[in-house]
Structure 1
């Protein structure tokens, strides 16, 4: 791609959008060097990497990468056998640790059967050096400090230093806390020249002896190392020197240890930077709601609801842009401020993004082409230094474009032919478009010239387009209208602004009738297009609603089929049981008949007895019952409506349906309790049965039920969110009442008091709660509440 198009379309700003999502210096370098490719295979590979990154982001929150510094200078120093300092070694250790962590992360993805396209090839090239990595991480802190565990000698020296410093402080505290403290300017212990000293008032110097290491600016305070601390300071100084020498030895040893792996470490840094770059592309795509484009090398572009990526998403207007299949040239006409230039930039910028391996700001299944170059003449090209007029500057650009473009190029021309006589400008614009068409490049051009409207209508593979204006307000809507030329609204705008009527009439008389008729025709086309678009949007919304309702009905049908099959099975079992009982009774009757025949000589033919028994046996039900009364009664039990009396099977209690909650749940009144119950747990009963239960129940009914779940006497709400805790408390109290528990304990903790306040407000509102109080101090105090039921 030529540098001019990258600057014109602000590709650096697109790359800048990736920066906040990068964690490594290598990733930053890769973004800085990013330019669009012109090879289909390369582009598809880059997009596949971005798609992998998007999948990892969706499934795992992204690739886990820490902040990684640039280790290239360190590796160059290792090449000349130099020793690295602690910070440099820590940065290399971070690269090695990140390499192991990333490899483990992708191994876990493989265990989860996550299928990726290309990114695993990069991960497979990472080289891990576990022993050296562990040695570095143990010996060097992330901030570059050499740890005590770097060597046993260093550990011992630092222990000696700590011990000696303690002894020195203990020796000097006799001066800061004893009688000698009054001779100090301050009762403190400080350090001068790496030796511990005390600040002595100058006139008492002789009472301390020792060595003077420094004095205050006024000369009134001397920093003296007393004689009693000199030997200890000497020992400390010696240990500190040995410690520094040992630190240098450790750093040299570690540097020598990693020197043979310079190439592997450098390669790992580049691979991690590339993964960081992929991660950033995926995160940018998620943030901008960008989608994966379909790439082709046939020159076809179909951007569905394309949006310029640098315009505020709340303000940008999306447009469909189609080019390359049915036509190779688009001529966008119409007045200024309508959005023509932004449309050109949107097409060009999205093409650059796709060819750079980025997801595009357009709807899914959008198509982009692979162009060998994109050329643009957009904006004011006037140059004072070169003494070029605006027209001359544009023509110089167009000249270079015509000389450089190929059949695989995309050309974007803004206000072609502007800046000169309108008739000459229009003629020149048409000639330029003919030349571009002859070469075979694809072109989108914007212009004011009405002559180009006719050109767009007459030329093959060329289509007119315009930016929509609201016919009532005459303000732009920034929507692209393909197939409709731009309308001249100058006189209409002047009339709306209140220009003198005589002036308006004079202007209209000077405009040719053909032009007025053309404007009227275009206005009518715009209105029809707007009406079609609005109807299409309404139909799209209706279709979406229908699909949602269809999905809901499908779900209900599946549930109905499940319930129906269960009812069939239950009815079949019940019917078979009844038939089995009838069969046994029939066998008894037949046996009795035989006994009668034997005893009394009554004549009952054997075949009649066998036929009767066979007919009774045939009453055994088929699994697919259609008109069985038992099945019909079973189905009737599950035809639920508000006000029906029902049996809650899991509780063994009878209640009344109050309202439907969601698709398959009902609010049921059980005595004074209202519970949300799944309809699969409900069975319709007659209201007489419910009334009998009410008549038998005392005025203050205690619910007796079969326990359906183990309800503990404690509920722990600590660590729960407010809404979750409120729901769990309500559910717990309901089940405690149904299980006839006399009291329960609610553990809400102390904390901010929000859970405690919510708990007590709920208990006050529940009529079945007799009283409540805080637990004893040994059982949680005011962090728990004991609840007693009536």
Structure 2
């Protein structure tokens, strides 16, 4: 990409802002090298890394790059056998530890929120914990070699401290002496040339023995090492030399240990720089409130509320523009200071940012194209050095663009044809645009010439646009209006500023009728656009309100369904437990009744026992019933023969088929026979021999028995006897298919009525009951509705 284009579109300012977010020298270096790319897959890969870093930064904050330094120079010196100083070794250890922390940080996020590209990079970071421990064991945070670095160094430093203590003790004894104090300038101990000295007045030099190491600027004070401590200072110097030799040995040992991992540590540095670069792009995206654009290579771009990133958010006017679909060129007309140049730069700069792997300040869903090159002719190109006028300079630049552009290029032209005669300039502008349009490139051009409005209107693939201008306030709104050509608004502005009406009318007369019609047409279009925009905003507001209501309704419905399901499950469970308990008790009662029936000659009817058991089965939760019936439906036989063992669905009982009657069959159920529809049967086992018929066997048909009455008269009966009669009467009425029966108990004291109605309330055959109406016997009769 041409460096001049990057400067024209202010891309270096984006680089500067991005550099401020890089935490390491390596990351800053990569930022400075950032340039747009022209390969679609490469750009998508860069944006994916930025997106992953953006997510990681949002979820867990920025990666811990603190302490990571540029160690390349130190590692190269270690490679060739040089000895590193403590500060360099400390940077190596801190960088190695920082690399481990970054690797763990990304791995932890990846476990919860996949970051495939970043995780692949971070996994390549090699870990050198043993090297870090060795360096930290010898060098402290201030890059000083610790006493504990070696036993020898610890001993030498103990000796140093002891020697220094003896010298100070000797000197302090001297300066406290009254005979010496009068010869001293100050009663202090100081150092000169790493030797302990005391300040002696010049006039006492001849009477004070020792070695002079320095004197004050005025010459009045001499810094003398007394003879009494010369030997002690010499010993101290020898000990310090031994200290330096031991420190040098320790540093050489640590340098050799680091040199073993030169390649790995340099590779780590490159990876950490790339990761820092990715997180810098993420932090810039957060700062700009930017989003990831969709990328293509078919020349299509669509910005939704795109903002120029170098204009303050509270001042910038968002830009909505689409190019490369139904039209490939946009001609923006209108007066100066309307924002045309800013719109051009916004389109160009956001395209460069996206092609560099950066998010762009626009709404979600914006699309940008990977162009092979961007060309721009923007601003005043006048060159005094080259004796070029503004027009000549613009034309020279355009000629260069025409020679290098392709069908996959984006061309931005500001004030096309300006700087020369309007007639010739407009004709030349149309010719240049026509040539570029024929080449198939994408074009956004601004101009003052009204002739280009007609060109854009008549040329397929070219569309007019303008910058909105508020005549009421005589100020631009900086909004780009695609599809509406610009107006000069000169007459309206002049009138509002107070120019005499006669002059304005004279000026109108100088304008051709055709130009006036064009201006009136544009005014009408603008009025219609403003009206449509207002209606669109109203519709959008209503749509958002409806969407919010729909979301609230969906949430409430989902919450209701969850609560309903919980309550149903709880009720089913309680019902299942209740029914199971009642079933166990009833099974025991039925077993006792069967035993009693056999002993007493079938005085208790078997069909009542079967019906009672069926009712117990039906009392189970519906979910289980549905499952059983579905299973049964899947196993219905093709043909049932006499002697087959079958399951009767409605009774949930096993039986043997005695004989067939068309679509019905007579089935032996215990001691009784029953006629049942074939559709109500399931084959269990075929051709089972029929057992010998018991003497007490009875045949029951599921038809209404004429001998069964629909009313029961209990007048004169005791309550206990009446209850037994009611139970028998209800069983017979149920099997006969009656829907409603009448129980006559009389009025009397009401004891019989109350007892019977309490019994009916709990009876399984009874759906509801009531007192008799007028004409049915009133309160002397109870009417029962059967299931």
Alignment TM-score, normalising by the size of structure 2:
0.72
Measure, in 2, the Cα distance between the counterparts of 1:449 and 1:105.
Answer: 59
How far is the alpha carbon of 1:255 from its aligned partner? 3.3
- Given that 1:586 and 1:616 are in contact with CA atoms closer than 8 Å, whether structure 2 keeps it comes out as no
- C-alpha distance in structure 2 between counterparts of 1:474 and 1:104, whole Å: 59
Question: Does the CA contact (< 8 Å) of 2:37 and 2:356 recur in 1?
Answer: yes
Separation in 2 of the partners of 1:501 and 1:439? 48
Q: 1:17 to 1:189 in 2, by over 3 A?
A: same
What is the match of residue 484 of structure 1? 484
Name the counterpart of 2:605. 606
CA–CA distance in 2 between the matches of 1:609 and 1:194? 120
Structure 2: gaps (5+ residues): 625-787
State the Cα distance separating 1:531 from its structure 2 match: 3.1
Work out whether residues 36 and 353 of structure 1, in 8 Å CA contact, stay in contact via their aligned partners in 2.
Answer: yes
Structure 1 residues 147 and 581, CA gap change in structure 2 (3 angstroms): closer
Aligned ranges 1:113-262 → 2 under 5 Å? 113-175=112-174, 183=182, 184-200=184-200, 210-262=210-262
Q: Which residue of 1 aligns with 2:349?
A: 349
Superposition deviation, residue 75 in structure 1: 4.1
**2:15 corresponds to 1:9:** no
What are the within-5 Å matches in structure 2 for residues 553-572 of structure 1? 553-571=553-571
Contact 1:27–1:277 (CA under 8 A) maintained in structure 2:
yes
Report the CA distance between 1:293 and its aligned residue.
Answer: 1.4
- Cα distance in 1 for partners of 2:491, 2:399 equals 36
CA distance in 1, matches of 2:141, 2:515: 76
Q: Which residue of 1 aligns with 2:22?
A: 22
Structure-2 change in CA distance of 1:606 and 1:256 (3 Å):
closer
* Maintained 8 Å contact 2:67/2:98: no
Deviation at 1:166, TM superposition (A): 2.9
Give yes or no for contact 1:23–1:67 (8 Å, CA) kept in 2.
Answer: no
Q: Which moved more, 1:347-356 or 1:510-519?
A: 510-519
What secondary structure sits across from 1:21 in the alignment? coil
Structure 2 partner of 1:516: 516
Shift of 1:207: 8.4
Contact 1:46/1:356 (8 A) holds in 2: yes
Task: Check conservation: 1:291, 1:361, Cα contact below 8 A.
Answer: yes
Name the CA shift for 1:581/1:73 in 2 (closer, same or farther; >3 Å). Answer: closer
User: Counterpart in 1 of 2:318?
Assistant: 318
**What is the aligned partner in structure 1 of residue 775 from structure 2?**
none
Q: Does 1:364 align with 2:397?
A: no
Task: For residue 337 of structure 1, give the secondary structure of its aligned residue in structure 2.
Answer: coil
Q: Deviations over 1:747-784 (max 9, x none)?
A: xxxxxxxxxxxxxxxxxxxxxxxxxxxxxxxxxxxxxx
8 Å contact kept, 1:474–1:489: no
CA distance in 1 between counterparts of 2:594 and 2:382 reads 122
1:364-403 to structure 2, matched below 5 A, reads 364-403=364-403
Instruction: Provide closer, same or farther for how the CA distance between residues 151 and 595 of structure 1 changes in structure 2, counting only shifts above 3 A.
Output: closer
8 Å contact kept, 1:469–1:477: yes
Alignment check: 8 A CA contact 1:181 1:187 kept: no
* Cα separation, partners in 2 of 1:159 and 1:540, compared to 1, 3 Å: farther
Contact kept, 8 Å, 1:333 with 1:449, in 2: the verdict is: yes
Q: Distance in 2 between matches of 1:121 and 1:574?
A: 54
The question of whether the paired residues in 2 share the 8 Å contact of 1:587 and 1:613 is answered with no
Pairwise CA RMSD of aligned residues?
A: 3.4
Q: Secondary structure at the match of 1:410?
A: strand
Residues 168 and 232 in structure 1, CA contact (< 8 A), matched pair in contact too? yes
Aligned length: 623
**Equivalents in 2 of 1:391, 1:83: separation in Å?**
64
Change (3 A) 1:199 1:537: farther
Equivalent in the alignment of 1:534: 534
Task: Please name the residue that 2:682 is paired with.
Answer: none
d(CA) in 2 for partners of 1:573, 1:121: 51
- Cα displacement (A) at 1:258: 3.3
C-alpha change, 1:581 and 1:266, in structure 2 (3 Å) is: closer
Q: Distance in 1 between matches of 2:576 and 2:550?
A: 38
After superposition, the Cα gap between the structure-2 partners of 1:262 and 1:590, relative to the gap in structure 1 and judged at 3 Å, is: closer
Once residues 210 and 169 of structure 1 are traced to their aligned partners in structure 2, the CA distance between those partners, rounded to angstroms, is 16
Q: What is the CA-CA distance between 1:287 and the residue it aligns to?
A: 1.1
**More deviation, 220-229/407-416:** 220-229
The answer (yes or no) to whether the contact 1:468–1:526 under 8 Å persists in 2 is no
Q: Which residue of 1 aligns with 2:430?
A: 430
Q: Distance in 2 between matches of 1:266 and 1:615?
A: 83
What corresponds to 2:405 in structure 1? 405
In 2, Cα distance between the equivalents of 1:115 and 1:588?
62
Measured in 2, the distance between the counterparts of 1:117 and 1:597 equals 78
Q: Note closer, same or farther for the CA distance 1:252–1:441 as it changes in structure 2 (3 Å cut).
A: same
Q: Which residue of structure 2 lines up, in the alignment, with residue 285 of structure 1?
A: 285
Query: Per the alignment, do residues 448 and 218 of structure 1 end up closer, same or farther by CA in structure 2, a change over 3 Å counting?
Result: closer
Q: CA distance change for structure 1 residues 167 and 303 in 2, over 3 Å: closer, same or farther?
A: same
- Which runs of structure 2 are paired with 1:575-614 in the superposition (5 Å)? 606=605, 610=609, 613=612
- 1:12 deviates by 0.7
- Superposed CA deviations along residues 294-341 of structure 1, whole A, max 9, x for unmatched, are 111111111111111111111111111211121111111111111111
**Per-residue deviation, 1:580:** 8.5
* Aligned-residue offset at 1:397: 0.8
SS at match of 2:130: helix
> CA 1:581 to 1:60, structure 2 compared with 1: closer, same or farther past 3 Å?
closer
**Match for residue 89 of structure 1?**
89
Post-superposition CA distance 1:219-264 (Å, at most 9, x none): 5544444455444333322211111222233333433443454443
Determine the structure 2 residue equivalent to 1:774: none
Q: CA–CA distance in 1 between the matches of 2:566 and 2:526?
A: 59
CA contact (8 A) 1:580 1:620 kept: no
Q: What is residue 721 of structure 1 aligned with on the other side?
A: none
**Which residue of 1 is the match for residue 627 of structure 2?**
none
Task: Give the distance between the partners of 1:46 and 1:570, measured in 2 at CA.
Answer: 54
| Aligned partners of 2:209 and 2:227 also within 8 Å | yes
2:248 & 2:576 partners in 1: Cα distance?
92
Instruction: For residue 433 of structure 2, give the secondary structure of its aligned residue in structure 1.
Output: helix
Query: Does the C-alpha gap of structure 1 residues 587 and 54 become closer, same or farther in structure 2, counting only changes over 3 Å?
Result: closer
Cα distance, 1:563 vs. partner? 2.7
Contact 2:19 2:32 in 1 (8 A): no
Q: 1:392 to 1:623 in 2, by over 3 A?
A: same
Q: Return closer, same or farther for 1:93/1:484 CA change in 2, 3 Å cut-off.
A: same
Please report how far the alpha carbon of residue 282 of structure 1 lies from its aligned counterpart in structure 2 after TM superposition.
0.9
Contact 2:39-2:370 at 8 Å conserved across structures: yes
In 2, distance between residues paired with 1:594 and 1:436? 104
Displacement of 1:375 after TM fit?
0.7
Relative to structure 1, the CA distance from residue 354 to residue 116 in structure 2 (aligned partners, 3 Å threshold; closer, same or farther) is: same
- What is the 5 A alignment of 1:331-350? 331-350=331-350
Q: 1:566 to 1:181 in 2, by over 3 A?
A: farther
Map 1:771-782; keep pairs closer than 5 Å. none
How far off is 1:10 after superposition? Answer: 1.3
| Aligned counterparts of 1:295 and 1:623: Cα–Cα separation in 2 | 56
Please say if residues 471 and 492 of structure 2, whose CA atoms lie closer than 8 Å, have aligned partners that are also in contact: no
Change (3 A) 1:292 1:572: closer
Partner of 1:49: 49
Q: Deviations over 1:463-496 (max 9, x none)?
A: 1111112243242111111111112211111111
Structure 1's unaligned 5+ residue stretches are 626-790
